[in-house]
Amino acid sequence: MSKEKIKISEAMWDFMPPEYQDMVDRATYGNNQRSWKDIGSSKELIEQHSLCAGCPESIAFRYILASLPNPEDTVMVGSTGCTSLVFPHVAIQNIHSLFGNQNAIASGLKRALKVRFPDKIKDVVVLAGDGATVDIGLDMTMQSWFRGEMFTTICFDNELYANTGGQESGLMQKGFVSKMAPVGKLFEKVRLPEIAFESGCHYVACLTVSKPNRVEKVIRNAVLVAREFGPTYVQLYTPCILEIGKQSMEGLDEMKDAEAIGQRFVAKEYMTDNVKAFLKEQDAKDKAAKKAAKAAAAAAK
Amino acid sequence: MSGYQVKPGPEAFLPPSASSMGIVLPDPGEGHIEGRIVPEDEAYELAARKFLEAKVPTLFPGPLVLWHWNDNAAEKAKAIKRLAEAIPARIIPMADYRPKYPKIIPEVEINPNHPNLTIWHNKIDACIFIGVHCHQANLALKIIRGGTSCYTMAMCAQAGHEDACLSFRDASVAKIDKLTETVLRLKKEGVKSQGDEFKQFRNNYTVSYKPSYE
């Protein structure tokens, strides 16, 4: 799909439901300056969803979809889990894989897109929960990193199997007791960000989704680096408020507590020297583009 | 042969797929009426009559014509509008195949996962699907046949739909226009539209706005 194809037949314009007209008129496809700040003032690529009220995953979804640099030419690959309840509602091409094989699907997809559209930038972004990424799909996840597949893997880390009742996952913290893991976790949380970097990821980040600016930056970095260098990995803490006994409005506080100094989700990034230089250059370009856009807007006024 | 006929329902909660009951698709130049293979002209004649004798005739354009993904699609959309004006009939789009959450607005849209809601709400008694991908059209046609008494028709761009009560194949602008011409001819011959008066839904806040297409 491309931006040119996202337009309504003229004769049918009046009959289309308003949300599709909005999608053409007010969405941020093709906008190089798109960011999370568009949320509320433009048509979002996800609005309604079937997650629980106050679920931090829904916030994460909004930020990620608002941060993708090239949504009209991005294909997302999902897996079984809470995320698969949202994918049917997003306005981005997406594929649902079998539980755990999302990175294998994405590998083939990325290669096929490269053959089919050699002159176009096509981004592939995997988005799956911790069960799919770290437990059931760890083989596929790591093999894709070993092979240097050029796409981004995002893991929504809620530290357990949320929509099946709260079973223990590899990313659960040690000692945590959940409904379906009454003895408590006996071993440490798997250090996947470090494993990812050692396994060939060129850019790795681990953080919560409490700060949209930071999430946007990380997602953008991960997608841009995956285009140029190779695999990237982003782990986002999206606590399951139901399974950890919190109220709908307490998700944000939970994330803020988890990222405090000394806690397990202090924001961290790993990158190679080449990537560091690339991102520095990219930052300078972004700043110049923003400055130019601001000047143009001021001149237009 | 089972002697099965693809008649308007309500047939059953889960009606059998017509193909499993021995209904076959028409060859080029043919149509099918309730499972019977007929010359295409006979299908035009009956489709036009079904629209004119219906209280709430409705056209359901799908994504293949709603979106301007090539010039032919845009031309088909224009032809559909001409057909709607000739009958006259409502246009209710099937803009999306994704399940809608939390609910659809049945005056405004039809969704293949629960098309019966739009049929029931608007009391639609004759409809045609144009520009809907085959799998989704078959799904919707079966659900409509299962739970409503609506007479279903399909203008398929490929081999036709055995799950519709009446089906054309190889849809093109010329074929949609031929259906329009048949409607106009019958009207000229004195067949009056039995349709109720209606107000075509339009989005209020965009009525004055039209996108510019170069």
Residue of A nearest to B213 (CA): A10
- Touching A: B residues 108-127, CB under 8 Å: 108-109
A103's enclosing H/E stretch is: helix A102-116
Instruction: Classify residue A25: in a domain, yes or no.
Output: no
Of B50, B24, B67, B13, the residue nearest B160 (C-alpha): B24
Sequential pLDDT tens for chain B (214 residues): 578 999 998 998 889 999 999 999 999 999 999 999 999 999 999 999 999 999 999 999 999 999 999 999 999 999 999 999 999 999 999 998 888 777 788 888 999 999 999 999 999 999 999 999 999 999 999 999 999 999 999 999 999 999 999 999 999 999 999 999 999 999 999 999 998 887 776 554 443 333 344 3
Instruction: Compute the distance between CA of residue B198 and CA of residue B47 in angstroms, rounded to an integer.
Output: 21
**A9/B108 CB distance under 8 A:** no
Check if the beta carbon of residue B4 is closer than 8 Å to that of residue B22: yes
Instruction: Classify residue A199: in a domain, yes or no.
Output: yes
Compute the residue count for chain B.
214
Query: What are A168's strand-pairing partners?
Result: A160
CATH of the domain at A262: 3.40.50.970
Instruction: Compute the distance between CA of residue B23 and CA of residue A63 in angstroms, rounded to an integer.
Output: 50
Domain count of the fold of chain A? 1
Instruction: Classify residue A36: in a domain, yes or no.
Output: no
**Tell me, what's the ipTM?**
0.89
Instruction: Classify residue A292: in a domain, yes or no.
Output: yes
Phi first, then psi, for residue A134 (nearest 5°) are -105, -25
Give the model confidence (pLDDT) of A34-53 as tens digits: 999 999 889 999 878 889 99
CB neighbours of B180 closer than 8 A, spacing ≥ 6? B79, B82, B83, B86
- Residue type (1 letter), A210: S
> How many A×B Cβ pairs under 8 Å?
83
Instruction: Classify residue A108: in a domain, yes or no.
Output: yes
Instruction: Classify residue A175: in a domain, yes or no.
Output: yes
Kindly list the structural domains of chain B, giving each domain's residue range(s) and its CATH number in brackets, ordered by start. 50-189 (3.40.50.1220)
Please name the member of B65, B108, B207 whose beta carbon is closest to the beta carbon of A12. B65
Residue of B nearest to A24 (CA): B211
Instruction: Classify residue A116: in a domain, yes or no.
Output: yes
pLDDT of A50: 84
Look up the domain containing A269 and give its range. 48-300
Please name the member of A12, A17, A88 whose beta carbon is closest to the beta carbon of B77. A12
Show which residues on chain A lie within 8 Å of chain B, measured between beta carbons. 5-18, 20-21, 24-25, 48-50, 88-89
**B93/A21 CB distance under 8 A:** no
Instruction: Classify residue A17: in a domain, yes or no.
Output: no
Please name the member of B80, B101, B211 whose beta carbon is closest to the beta carbon of A13. B211
- Touching A: B residues 63-92, CB under 8 Å: 65-69, 73-74, 76-78, 80-81, 91-92
